[in-house]
């Protein structure tokens, strides 16, 4: 062990010397041959050489401190748990994450150019006699984790995507990455081209903050280079759905403490689970980012926190719904594709709205699931149509569900009045919800179907309704709206809109879901425009919402509104804000139907 540790010391010293001697403008062209001129200057403006990294294997903390001191390196903070390296080691050596005690230290180095950089030290503790000796021998020989890193200035999605693309143009290929919740940082790994002259082939872009939205595309590109692994990950997607559903069913998130990690034995006792099997579930959920693990046990990540029943915007009902009835019906997707029939109806013998209505517990879960996608509504009250509405104007929410969206609008604008149209039992749920928010005096509740859309409104809303239906039924619904609307009234239609450029979108996934489970569909913007036109309406604007949602601004067709269409940009004033409730039948094709589960 003494010999092995002295080998680590020499590697530490060599890494520190490398960091002292390099600078950003010199190192980048060594790693990316051909990089020069304006593009090199652009990269130097957006990122800086921050550290070189290596993995060492001390028997204990004292030995690690001694090795650092021998190299003149002093860590100014205790080691933090690794996430990315620990998971990479677990996969590479087929080990449990829990048995790999990997910490991160970053002792500073004074460089020749006057800057201060760091040596990033990953330390895997290998006690004497441990069977981890084989891991240490392999890793010292292969140097998988040795890399150089560049920290990104003021990272945002555009900058990160641009840097990744620039690395790719000069021969670097994606090589994994991850998000470390302990440091709130995201790393993007690359393999430098074979002709790189820096002595390192592995390169890291380090971005402070949570940038997993950009990381997804980077990891997808990495997997595309390993097609068998990519396909295997796709094939096991159902396991993730069921793991999340089991986690929600057992209420594990609610039993976890926000302030400290919780051990498996304590969690198993609290939720009534078999501890070894719960540990297996939690390790899987660690891999997909729902929980994190350290030596003290497991913690919820921000993603996992959304599965707490009491979390704001809790998505626990979605986990139960997607892992329950919809999981069962998706087994019939092939039947739907082959025959055109709805798989849910084949599985349960009736459409899903009627099926839920017959089961009070399922109906309640469905109603709570609808509220789980409420983040889509966050920017909607700022829509110009609503901000410009005059004192006493009336907003009519058609198929308004439990009143989530209408309640947000009435809270934002005390000057407005509301009307909510829904099926009878859902109207009562909405009445209680809006009453608790203090809106009852300004809101009228109507039980009915689409034929009962009231006249006299100033703003009408159809949120997540049209995708439940085929084109003929959509035209009928829209004609009811057009008849009720005056020439000065506005209609806001909230839907996910299919992209026309093949880009990834939740709308594409929901198109499959609607086909399989509801018999509906998602549509592109031009398709919606044709439906509006057939009903005597005109699309005059479109703005993005969270969760890949869109709000389509529609008015009655007429000379004034045709001119409005010519004068109004298709993209409205919610630029930069990037993604509802519902109606469900008691009689097929009569009563308003509920929107999909988000």
Task: Return the active site residues.
Answer: 467
Provide the token pair at 51: 């550290």
Q: How many CB atoms lie within 10 A of CB 65?
A: 15
Task: Decide if 596 contacts 518 (C-beta within 8 A).
Answer: yes
The span from the CA of 40 to the CA of 26, in Å, is: 10
Distance CA 401, CA 494 (A): 14
- Helix, strand or coil for residue 309? coil
B/e letters for 215-245, b = 16+ CB within 10 Å, e = fewer, are beebbeebbeeeeeeeeeeeeeeeebeebbb
Rounded Cα–Cα distance for residues 178 and 284 (Å):
15
What does the alpha-carbon distance between residue 2 and residue 58 come to, in Å, rounded to a whole number? 10
Q: Name the 3-class secondary structure at 72.
A: coil
DSSP H helices in 461-550: 471-484, 506-517, 525-534
| Burial tier of 56 (Cβ tally within 10 Å: 0-12, 13-18, 19+) | buried
Q: How far apart are CA 54 and CA 28, in angstroms?
A: 19
Distance CA 342, CA 513 (A): 10
Pairing between strand 459-463 and 443-447?
unpaired
- What does R_g of the chain's alpha carbons equal in angstroms? 28
Buried b (16+ CB within 10 A) or exposed e, 143-177: eebbbbbbbbeebeeebbeebbebbeebbbebbbb
DSSP per position, 440-464: GGGEEEEE--GGGPPS--SEEEEES
């Amino acid at each position: 062990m003494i010999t092995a540790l002295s080998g680590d010391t020499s590697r530490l010293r060599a890494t520190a010397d490398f960091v002292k001697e390099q600078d950003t403008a010199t190192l980048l062209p060594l790693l990316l041959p051909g990089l020069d001129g304006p593009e090199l200057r652009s990269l130097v403006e957006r990122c800086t050489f921050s550290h070189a990294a290596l993995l060492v294997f001390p028997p204990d903390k004292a030995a690690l401190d001694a090795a650092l001191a021998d190299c003149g390196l002093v860590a100014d903070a205790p080691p933090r748990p690794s996430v990315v390296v620990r998971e990479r080691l677990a996969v590479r050596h087929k080990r449990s994450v829990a048995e790999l005690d990997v910490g991160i230290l970053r002792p500073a180095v004074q460089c020749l150019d006057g800057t201060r950089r760091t040596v990033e030290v990953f330390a895997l503790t290998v006690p004497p006699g441990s069977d981890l000796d084989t891991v240490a021998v392999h890793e010292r020989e292969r140097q998988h984790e040795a890399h150089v890193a560049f920290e990104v200035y003021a990272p945002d999605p555009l900058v990160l995507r641009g840097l990744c693309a620039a690395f790719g143009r000069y021969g670097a290929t994606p090589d994994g990455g991850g998000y470390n919740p302990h440091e709130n940082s995201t790393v993007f790994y690359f393999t430098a081209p074979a002709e790189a002259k820096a002595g390192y082939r592995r390169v890291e872009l380090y971005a402070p903050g949570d940038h997993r939205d950009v990381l997804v595309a980077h990891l997808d590109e990495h997997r595309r280079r390993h097609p068998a692994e990519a396909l295997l990950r796709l094939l096991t997607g159902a396991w993730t759905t069921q793991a999340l559903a089991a986690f929600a069913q057992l209420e594990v998130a609610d039993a976890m403490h926000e302030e400290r990690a919780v051990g498996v034995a304590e969690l198993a006792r609290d939720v009534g689970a078999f501890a070894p099997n719960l540990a297996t579930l939690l390790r899987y959920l660690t891999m997909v980012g729902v929980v994190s693990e350290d030596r003290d046990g497991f913690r919820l990540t921000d993603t996992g926190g959304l599965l707490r029943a009491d979390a704001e915007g809790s998505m626990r009902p979605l986990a139960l719904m997607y892992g329950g009835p919809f999981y069962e019906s998706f087994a019939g997707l092939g039947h739907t594709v082959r025959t055109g029939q709805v798989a849910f109806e084949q599985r349960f013998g009736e459409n899903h709205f009627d099926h839920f209505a017959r089961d009070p517990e399922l109906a309640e879960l469905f109603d709570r699931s609808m509220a789980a996608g409420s983040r889509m509504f966050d920017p909607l009250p700022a829509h110009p149509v609503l901000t410009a509405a005059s004192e006493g104007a009336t907003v009519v929410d058609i198929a308004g569900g439990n009143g989530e969206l209408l309640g947000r609008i009435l809270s934002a604008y005390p000057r407005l009045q509301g009307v909510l149209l829904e099926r009878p039992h859902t109207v009562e749920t909405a009445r209680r919800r809006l009453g608790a928010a203090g809106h009852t005096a300004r809101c009228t509740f109507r039980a009915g179907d689409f034929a009962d859309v009231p006249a006299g409104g100033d703003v009408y809303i159809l949120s997540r309704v049209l995708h439940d239906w085929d084109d003929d039924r959509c035209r009928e619904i829209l004609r009811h709206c057009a008849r009720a609307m005056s020439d000065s009234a506005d209609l806001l239609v909230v839907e996910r809109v299919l992209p026309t450029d093949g880009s990834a979108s939740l709308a594409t996934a929901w198109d499959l879901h609607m086909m399989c489970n509801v018999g509906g569909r998602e549509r592109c913007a031009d398709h919606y425009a044709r439906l509006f036109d057939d009903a005597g309406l005109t699309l005059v604007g479109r703005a993005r919402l969270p969760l890949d949602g869109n709000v389509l601004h529609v008015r009655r067709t007429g000379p004034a509104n045709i001119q409005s269409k010519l004068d109004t940009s298709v993209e409205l004033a919610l630029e930069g804000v990037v993604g509802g409730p519902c109606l469900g039948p008691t009689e097929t094709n009569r009563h308003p139907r509920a929107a999909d589960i988000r």
